[in-house]
Amino acid sequence: MSKGKLLLIGSNATRIEVQGGRTGATGQYLNETVVPAMAAVDAGYEIVLATPDGTKPHIDEASDSVDHFEGDQAAYRRGKAYYADDPAMNAPRTLRSVIEEGLDNYVGVFVPGGQAPVVDLMQDADLGEILRHFHDKAKPTALLCHGPIAIASAMPHAREFRAALVAGAPEKAREWAKDWQYAGYKMTVFSNTEETVVEDYILKAKLYFNMVDALEIAGGEVITTPVNFEPNVIEDRELITGQNPRSDKPLAARLVAALDRSLATAKAA
């Protein structure tokens, strides 16, 4: 019997704006999606995938590699097979349908990374409604790598906040971020120096803003490692954030532990 449903929120973005008025290819990272999802399933939870438009997320080609599974070919094959074939990964819902069905049906929420959430999720009104619900109910809310930028959607003016960041107007962005639910929370996200590596070697272009800067402007207390791609997970109240792709397993463990604690508390009430 399932312990409960974990809502996995994916992005539908396949292109991201870069400086110079162009776009670059983007998507969701494979390991960041499947490692926490499979850990939750192994712990007895059911996964429900939802995206803004109800279609399956595109996997960023840069992440489709055994390198992101610590060189473990068996883990890589298992992860690819899970994403390709598991029924939970092939029955995506729209965010709106999940809201209308009732968010109390879910024990927690998880948002993986890849740069795609920077495009759609961080300014999606439905995701904002979902995150505000989990915040108000103090239910486990986990986000990985670029995924933590999605918590900006909980702002009353998320679209305006993002537009100000793209325009290079941090003070205006700070105004739009007023009354953000996660202001003052400790959190982590893909670091500025890690982003430079991706911009130089994968994207081959510069983004309009960095994730650390955006979350700090909004009022988050962002903590990143001094060494690039060193695993890092920060937990503050219901919020669990992981810094980079190599934080997938540590974040999965913290998420499962938080789900189990939340379940135990609910049963005792």
Specify the CATH number for the domain of residue 192: 3.40.50.880
Residue 111 has pLDDT above 90, yes or no: yes
Which residues contact residue 210 at a Cβ distance below 8 angstroms, ignoring those fewer than 6 apart? 192, 195
Residue 1 has pLDDT above 90, yes or no: no
Count each helix (H run) and each strand (E run) in the chain, helices first: 9, 11
What is the pTM (predicted TM-score) of this model? 0.98
| CA 103 – CA 119 distance, rounded (Å) | 24
* pLDDT digits 0-9 by tens, 20-76: 999 999 999 999 999 999 999 999 999 999 999 999 999 999 999 999 999 999 999
Reported as a pLDDT band with limits 50, 70 and 90, residue 210 is very high
Which residues contact residue 85 at a Cβ distance below 8 angstroms, ignoring those fewer than 6 apart? none
* pLDDT digits 0-9 by tens, 139-162: 999 999 999 999 999 999 999 999
Number of domain units in the chain: 1
Domain that holds residue 55: 5-268
